[in-house]
């Protein structure tokens, strides 16, 4: 048995969803919408299921989906992607596993920014990578030149970056992105750029892919996921976009992890990616509305929310909200005693955690949000003397 995996805790998302079910709680923890999905995309999948193939899809993905991903990025992000650069994976999670497996050689230094999405670190360690953690702090969660220069001193092979960022809900600004790109180019470092939240950005912002920055197209491995683009988190259809020198080995790893992804779901995602801008604009507007509802209700209930620029998430600052316990204690009691599940942000740190921030998912019907905040109020009352 590999002791690394034997020691790992169950993912915080699985654990909180399980506790929410056990305690009949409102689940504002794991990130998934409770208000449906685009019916036409699901109808396409149903049609493909009954009328298309149910046998193995091509290892690197259905040609129509690889084409659709390439033209989607050309249209929405103005990047020139060839369909040969696309490999379809079983969710972004498998894309990350394949990329880290293929790109990291034992002893390679790998830079990661904390708070970090839970899958990154165990995969880096299993590949024999030596992690170097860059710590971001609330409320600004900013990336600075000083911190980066210190981190790059050890000649890293790979940097793993997530933007828009889970759990902080930051959309890193162009200056921060340029700093990262500049250091990657200068130190000949490959960038694994997890952009699964690329369409969920607010205030009229447009997603800036890292591969569009000078010198980055040839050294970026971009990860995407249909789960977030179409509110279909259960489908697990993702992809990587990478130049052949990087994408080739990654697809070799993919062939031994999943080999291929269900063809019917791929066909439906290929259809969905051709939707016009109005679909994506309406989706963003709906999520922004839900975020504002949650933020306003939390403020009314005397919580102090942090800014949310993208993703499905909004966090609260416990200390500023007058709650003098750590995030894990708050979340454990909130789900068991007040009937609301949330995610402690310290679980996204491997060392030196920030313990005063709790993440909430706002991708819910207004009634769910209202009930959730009533219960957050009850959770807060558990800690007032």
- Scan for tokens 């710590």, then name that residue: 135
Among 89, 166, 168, 211, binds ligand GLN (CB under 6 A): 166
Sequence-distant contacts of 142-146: CB under 8 A, at least 24 apart = 142/176, 143/113, 143/172, 143/176, 143/179, 143/180, 144/179, 145/179
162 belongs to the binding site for ligand PMP (CB under 6 A): yes
Among 33, 115, 227, 372, binds ligand PMP (CB under 6 A): 227
Site string for ligand PMP, 66-105 (x = CB under 6 A): -------------------------xxx------------
The candidate with the shortest Cα–Cα distance to 161, out of 201, 188, 191, is: 191
Whole-angstrom CA distances from 115 to 47, 88, 201, 295, 349 are 41, 27, 19, 22, 5
30 belongs to the binding site for ligand GLN (CB under 6 A): yes
Which residues fall within 8 angstroms of residue 58, CB to CB, at 6 or more apart? 260
Q: Pick what 30 binds: ligand GLN, ligand PMP, none; C-beta below 5 to 8 Å, kind-dependent.
A: ligand GLN
Q: Pick what 77 binds: ligand PMP, ligand GLN, none; C-beta below 5 to 8 Å, kind-dependent.
A: none
Q: Cα(210)–Cα(159) distance, rounded to whole angstroms?
A: 12
Q: Pick what 169 binds: ligand PMP, ligand GLN, none; C-beta below 5 to 8 Å, kind-dependent.
A: none
Q: Give φ, ψ of 340 to 5 degrees.
A: -140, 130
The least CB distance from residue 40 to ligand GLN, in Å, is 25
Residue 172, by phi and psi: left (phi above 0), alpha (psi -120 to 50) or beta?
Answer: beta
H helix or E strand, kind and range, residue 64: helix 63-77
**For residues 263, 265, 269 and 271, what is the CA-based torsion angle, rounded to 10 degrees?**
70
Q: Which residues pair with 158 in a beta bridge?
A: 110, 190
Number of residues engaging ligand PMP in binding (CB under 6 A): 14
162 belongs to the binding site for ligand GLN (CB under 6 A): no
Asked if 143 and 111 count as a contact pair (C-beta separation under 8 A), the reply is no
Is the CB of 189 or the CB of 237 nearer to ligand GLN?
237
Q: What angle do CA 85, 90, 96 make, to 5 degrees?
A: 65
Is the CB of 11 or the CB of 299 nearer to ligand GLN?
11
Is the CB of 197 or the CB of 330 nearer to ligand GLN?
197
Q: Pick what 89 binds: ligand PMP, ligand GLN, none; C-beta below 5 to 8 Å, kind-dependent.
A: none
H helix or E strand, kind and range, residue 41: helix 39-51
Q: Pick what 13 binds: ligand PMP, ligand GLN, none; C-beta below 5 to 8 Å, kind-dependent.
A: ligand GLN
Q: Judging by DSSP bridges, how do beta strands 109-114 and 158-162 pair with one another?
A: parallel
308 belongs to the binding site for ligand PMP (CB under 6 A): no
Is the CB of 13 or the CB of 37 nearer to ligand GLN?
13
315 belongs to the binding site for ligand GLN (CB under 6 A): no
Residues between 233 and 252 with contacts to ligand PMP, criterion CB under 6 A: 233, 236, 238
H helix or E strand, kind and range, residue 132: strand 130-135
The least CB distance from residue 63 to ligand GLN, in Å, is 29
360 belongs to the binding site for ligand PMP (CB under 6 A): no
* Residues near ligand PMP, by CB under 6 A: 31, 91-93, 117, 162, 166, 194, 196, 225, 227, 233, 236, 238
Contact set with ligand GLN (CB under 6 A): 11, 13, 30-31, 166
């Amino acid at each position: 048995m590999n002791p690394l995996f034997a020691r790992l805790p169950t993912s915080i998302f699985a654990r909180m969803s399980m506790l929410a079910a056990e305690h009949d709680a409102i689940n504002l923890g794991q990130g998934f919408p409770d208000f449906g999905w685009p019916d036409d995309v699901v109808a396409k999948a149903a049609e493909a299921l009954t009328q298309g193939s149910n046998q193995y899809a091509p290892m690197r993905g259905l040609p129509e989906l690889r084409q659709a991903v390439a033209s989607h990025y050309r249209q929405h992000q103005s990047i020139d992607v060839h369909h040969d650069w696309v490999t379809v994976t079983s969710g972004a999670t498998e894309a990350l596993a394949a990329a880290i497996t293929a790109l990291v050689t034992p002893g390679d230094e790998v830079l990661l920014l904390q708070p970090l999405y839970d899958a990154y670190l165990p995969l880096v360690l299993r590949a024999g990578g030596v992690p170097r953690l860059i710590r971001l702090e609330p409320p600004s969660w900013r990336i600075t030149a000083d911190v980066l220069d210190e981190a790059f001193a050890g000649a890293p092979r790979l940097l793993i970056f997530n933007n828009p960022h889970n759990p902080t809900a930051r959309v890193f600004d162009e200056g921060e992105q340029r700093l990262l790109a500049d250091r990657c180019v200068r130190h000949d470092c490959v960038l694994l750029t997890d952009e699964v939240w690329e369409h969920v950005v607010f205030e009229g912002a447009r997603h800036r892919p890292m591969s569009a920055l000078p010198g980055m197209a040839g050294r970026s491995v971009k990860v995407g996921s249909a789960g977030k683009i179409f509110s279909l988190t259960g489908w697990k259809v993702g992809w990587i976009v990478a130049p052949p020198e990087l994408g080739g080995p990654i697809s070799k790893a993919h062939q031994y992890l999943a080999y291929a992804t269900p063809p019917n779901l791929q066909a439906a995602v290929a259809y969905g990616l051709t939707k016009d801008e109005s679909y994506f604009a309406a989706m963003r507007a709906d999520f922004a509305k839900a975020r504002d509802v949650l933020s306003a209700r939390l403020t009314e209930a005397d919580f102090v929310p942090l800014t949310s620029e993208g993703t499905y998430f909004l966090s609260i600052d416990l200390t500023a909200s007058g709650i003098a316990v750590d995030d894990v204690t708050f979340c454990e009691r909130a789900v068991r005693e007040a009937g609301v599940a949330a995610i402690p942000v310290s679980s996204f740190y491997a060392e030196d955690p920030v313990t005063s921030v709790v993440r909430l998912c706002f991708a819910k019907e207004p009634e769910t949000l209202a009930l959730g905040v009533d219960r957050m109020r009850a959770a807060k009352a558990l800690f007032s003397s």
